Amino acid sequence: MRPAVTVALFALVWLAVSGSFTIPNLLLGLAAGALSLWLIRGHIRPDGRRFRPLKVLSLAVLFIKELALSAWKVAVLVASPKMALKPGIFAFPLTVDRDFEITLLANLITLTPGTLSVDVSEDRKVLYVHALDCSDPAGARRDIANGFERKIMEAFR
Amino acid sequence: MGAATILSAASTLALALMCVAFFLTAWRVIRGPTLPDRIVALDMLVAIAIGFIAVIAIRTGFNLYIDIAIALGLVGFLATVAFARFVLSHGMADEGEEPAASPARPARGKGRRKGRVR
Amino acid sequence: MLDIVLALIVAVMLVSGGIFVFLAALGIVRLPDVYTRMHAASKAGTVGSGLMLFAAGIHALDIAIFMRAFAGFVFFVLTAPVAAHLLARAAHKAGYRLARVSAVDEMRDAERRDAKKR
């Protein structure tokens, strides 16, 4: 994203959080956004990332749906008198390679029912995922690769 | 049955549920047995406190409480991140009583940590 | 009429939020190790307190306050996985092991392989 777009986005968030939609407040939001972007200027690299709003929206919908589903699953598991647990950590080979995409994938995995991302290997090729039910690691790997990873590739490539 | 009655009943029920949740989580903070367990429980306590504040905001109609809840969420997140850094740098020292750890494991952990600390 | 419907929506959100928070706390007490407890705290706990904050935003009937509550909700949902991930990573690197019932730990296996190679 271009810096101007990012600053405009920050200003919108500022308006939402501060709750007063006035011109001076908008200017203040723009200034705060520009300042915060300037403060971290050394840490962001511009990259030719494509950005498809509709796909991002569908990703956001998926995010909310999965969060609700996973909270429900955990709640049911905890409420059942005899918890059927077989936890473990399995390795998931990553296809996405940019920091931003790995972060997004890791966040999405954490919100999926019964899985929680623990670590990324130093060469950024493997994501370690903790699962509440780790009796079928191969199936879990397939689900993630066909679900979230493909969605992310569709939205940002 | 008016709107006020419904709201009052629902918020009382929510407060009662959260009160129980608060004590359960506090038991985990006291009990441990490891430092990360306590951190997870403390994080959960922050979430419960946010819930409490939201219910109080509804009961009193004092909307400024929502800002307080957001600020508490920010502080809670930063605290958890800081605790995670602490666990990472501190390692498993003082955890000799942890039942799941085999005797060989802490020693190996220490050896690796030496290489990692800059 | 409208205020009754609104009160019902808020009441349902409050009670379900309370139930989620309560179950998250129960999970923190019942589950066997740090990693599984994190599942309960970061999912059910976040959804629970987020729902309550959302309910408070709806109850206020003011677009500015609703936006604020919504921003807080989004913030919690985005930060909870990050906090859980950081803590899980720190705990695993520090050497805290999974509970006995666990099936596999491919991360520890990989670390062992690396250690052998060096």
Taking only the tens place, the pLDDT of each residue in B19-63 is: 999 999 999 888 878 888 888 899 899 989 998 998 888 888 888
Using DSSP, state whether A21 is helix, strand or coil. Answer: coil
How much of chain A is helix, strand and coil, in % rounded to 5?
A: 60, 15, 25
- Report how far Cα A69 is from the mean position of its chain's Cα atoms: 16
How would you write the pLDDT of chain C (118 residues) with one tens digit per residue?
Answer: 778 888 888 889 889 899 889 988 888 888 888 888 888 888 888 888 888 888 888 888 877 788 888 888 888 888 888 888 888 888 888 777 776 666 666 666 776 776 666 6
Domain tally, chain A = 2
A103 and A142 part of one domain: yes
Between residues 77 and 116 of chain A, which touch chain C (CB distance below 8 Å)? Answer: 77-79, 83, 85-91, 106-107, 110-111, 114, 116
A19 and A67 belong to one structural domain? no
Q: How far apart are CA A38 and CA A3, in angstroms?
A: 10
A74 vs C39: CB contact, 8 Å cut-off? Answer: yes
A77/A31 same-domain check: no
Q: Given CB atoms, is B29 within the 8 Å cutoff of chain C?
A: no
Lookup result for tokens 């919908």: A61
Enumerate the residues of chain A whose CB falls inside 8 A of the CB of residue C23: 74-75, 78-79
Alpha carbon distance A25, A4 (integer Å): 18
* Together in a domain, A104 and A152: yes
Distance, CA of A110 to CA of C115 (rounded, Å): 28
Q: Determine contact, residues B39/C87, Cβ cutoff 8 Å.
A: yes
List of E strands, A18-123 = 88-93, 115-120
Residues A36 and A59 in one domain: no
Q: Same domain for A34 and A58?
A: no
pLDDT-derived band of residue B16, with 50, 70 and 90 as boundaries?
very high
Note whether A25 and A60 are same-domain residues: no
Q: Which residues contact C95 (CB under 8 A, 6 or more apart)?
A: B91, B92, B101, B105, B106, B108, B109
Does the predicted interface ipTM exceed a cut of 0.90? no
Element (H, E) at A67: helix A53-79
3-state SS assignment for residue A118: strand
Residue B46: C-alpha distances to residues A18, A46, A74, A87, C99 (Å): 23, 36, 19, 26, 26
Entry pTM: 0.80
Task: Assess if residue A126 is contained within a domain.
Answer: yes
Look up the domain containing A114 and give its range. 53-156
Q: Which of residues 36-95 of B touch C (CB under 8 A)?
A: 36-37, 39-41, 43-44, 47-48, 50-51, 54-55, 57-58, 63, 65-67, 69-70, 73-74, 77, 80-81, 83-85, 87-88, 90-92, 95
Whether A111 and A36 map to the same domain: the answer is no
